[in-house]
Amino acid sequence: MTFERAAGILLHPTSLHGRYGIGDLGSEAYQFVDWLQAAGARLWQILPLGPTGYGDSPYQCFSAFAGNHMLISPDYLARINLLAQWDLEQLTNLPSESVDFGAVIPAKLQLLRTAFENFKAQADDRGFNAFCAAEQAWLDDYALFMACKAAHAGASWTTWDSAIALHEPEAVAEWSQKLADDVQFHKFLQWAFFNQWDDLKRYANERDIKIVGDIPIFVAHDSADVWGNRSLFLLHPDGNPVDIAGVPPDYFSATGQRWGNPLYRWDVMAQDGYQWWQQRISASLRTVDIVRIDHFRGFAGYWAVPASEETAVNGEWRRGPGADFFQAIAQAFGSLPLIAEDLGMITPDVYQLRDQFALPGMRILQFAFTSGAFQSNFLPHTYVQNTVAYTGSHDNDTSRGWYNSAGPEEQHRARTYLHCGEEALVWTMIRTLYASVADTVIIPMQDALDLGTEARMNRPGLTGGNWSWRIKPDQLSYDLAHSLYGLAEVYGRLAQPALSKELDPNAPPYFDLQETSEL
């Protein structure tokens, strides 16, 4: 489907500011929505919202359906009398300018446990049982998975006692009873998360701001999804993967990326019309308004790596489900608000699949200047309307960091194409995308702030030190919002045309780019 002409900001909720060690769904999130509205932004793009596992990556979650309980606002729990003010002091000594996952996770879990104990003591349902009944299809397995994982000291499910590791019905019943309190705790966390998220999403939608979510094509091996649905994945009898997902050597890594996710048994999934995927997409569209499908090219063909390999070099391309998958999804849902992440090693069949279902693809402006011939399809003059354009994504360096680390020829090509000096380069990139024919433009918050590599969100291939950047309170300024609003107004990306007003010839411009002939 095609989208209205609009612009937005990419910022994951963990990157919001606040006093509890990690961005959450509290007042700062509402302030950010207000700021987006002031900036003329109509889209807020986030990363996957699931509970993160190894490496704290939102692309390696314990569930494709659950919410990340680290995003639960302690202040909200205090307002509904599940925490006292002295409880909140437990988290106020955590770093505020970045996320220290090793410190915040145990501290916040302890606080959430206190809220759960208070919830039980009050014996007030508050819609909890109705929530559990409505979400039973995924919630029961997820809550038991998390409880069992804690009972096995966090170990992967393939190392658990064999009966429960293999999800045998008798073992499921036995462990559900044995760990009943922990199971309820994790259901409580999901109830609290979705109550808070639903309120925040409603607040954004009422202000004409849509949430752009993210579905990674593959799920983590150590997840409730794989543990509870082993027949849908390419696994050995003991549950370990036969082959795993990844990508061959590319722009980001000379040895490729060995993701470690198990591969789907697409033939098995096709037998019931991809019901598991239908449930997954339905759950996502309950949570967000638009879904970006990460690694879309995997539906056409995916890189399969033997699980025994240490890198992703020795793999092979295998055919994905292709049009059959999207026909089944379209039959179930009709026209879907999907974005195809069509980056990387792309072959014609990927574009054909994308265009067959009229899905907008992605363009990254940072990628436009590697070729000396100015022939890249990442150059804005080559865009089509049904496109989502970015200066960079969560996997890229910030645009300032990219430019500073680029070679002199690439820097020169960027300055020549954008017709600006290096001081004005990042904001000229933003203005160029706003002016382009692309229906959708999304700018990482770090680029709107013109920050350097120190603000980078993720470095693909590295297992530590990612996902920790947080915005500072004073960076969400009126001046920045005013400049972005000006771009949205000038280039037709507001919800409705701004009211005409008499121009003051002496008024400063919305956005003040430092023009220079130093190309």
Cβ contact 155:227 at 8 Å: no
Catalytic annotation on 341? yes
- pLDDT for residue 515: 46
Cβ contact 232:212 at 8 Å: no
Nearest to 40 by CA among 413, 476, 486, 452: 486
Cα–Cα dist 450/452, whole Å: 7
Cβ contact 317:301 at 8 Å: yes
- pLDDT for residue 500: 45
Structure tokens at 443: 């700018």
| Host H or E run for residue 34 | helix 27-38
Among all chains, which residue has been given the structure tokens 């008798």?
Answer: 170
Long-range contacts of 512-515 (CB under 8 A, 24+ apart): 512/483, 513/420, 513/424, 513/427, 513/428, 513/431, 514/420, 514/421, 514/423, 514/424, 515/420, 515/421, 515/424
Nearest to 50 by CA among 39, 31, 63, 37: 63
Distance of CA 237 to the CA centre of its chain: 32
Catalytic residue (choose from 294, 342, 439, 447) = 294
- pLDDT for residue 463: 74
- pLDDT for residue 511: 59
CA distances from 132 to 51, 65, 121, 186, 273 (A): 18, 13, 19, 11, 26
Cβ contact 146:115 at 8 Å: no
Structure tokens at 211: 């949430």
pLDDT tens, per residue, the chain with 519 residues: 779 999 999 999 999 999 999 999 999 999 999 999 999 999 999 999 999 988 999 999 999 999 999 999 999 999 999 999 999 998 888 999 999 999 999 999 999 999 999 999 998 899 999 999 999 999 999 999 999 999 999 999 999 999 999 999 999 999 999 999 999 999 999 999 999 999 999 999 999 999 999 999 999 999 999 999 999 999 999 999 999 999 998 776 889 889 999 999 999 999 999 999 999 999 999 999 999 999 999 999 999 999 999 999 999 999 999 999 999 999 999 888 999 999 988 999 999 999 999 999 999 999 999 987 788 999 999 999 999 999 999 999 999 999 999 999 999 999 999 999 999 999 999 999 999 999 999 999 999 999 999 999 999 877 778 999 999 999 999 999 999 999 999 999 998 755 444 556 666 665 565 544 444
Where do the structural domains in the chain lie, given as residue ranges?
A: 233-337+348-358
Helical ranges in 339-444 per DSSP H:
348-356, 399-405, 408-418, 425-435
Among all chains, which residue has been given the structure tokens 């969400």?
Answer: 476
- Considering only the C-alpha atoms of the chain, give the largest distance between any 2 of them, rounded to a whole number of Å: 78
Catalytic annotation on 238? no
Number of H helices, E strands in the chain: 19, 12
Catalytic residue (choose from 24, 28, 56, 341) = 341
Catalytic residue (choose from 24, 56, 141, 395) = 395
Contacts of 72 (CB under 8 A, 6+ apart): 24, 25, 108, 112, 189, 192, 193, 196
- pLDDT for residue 461: 74
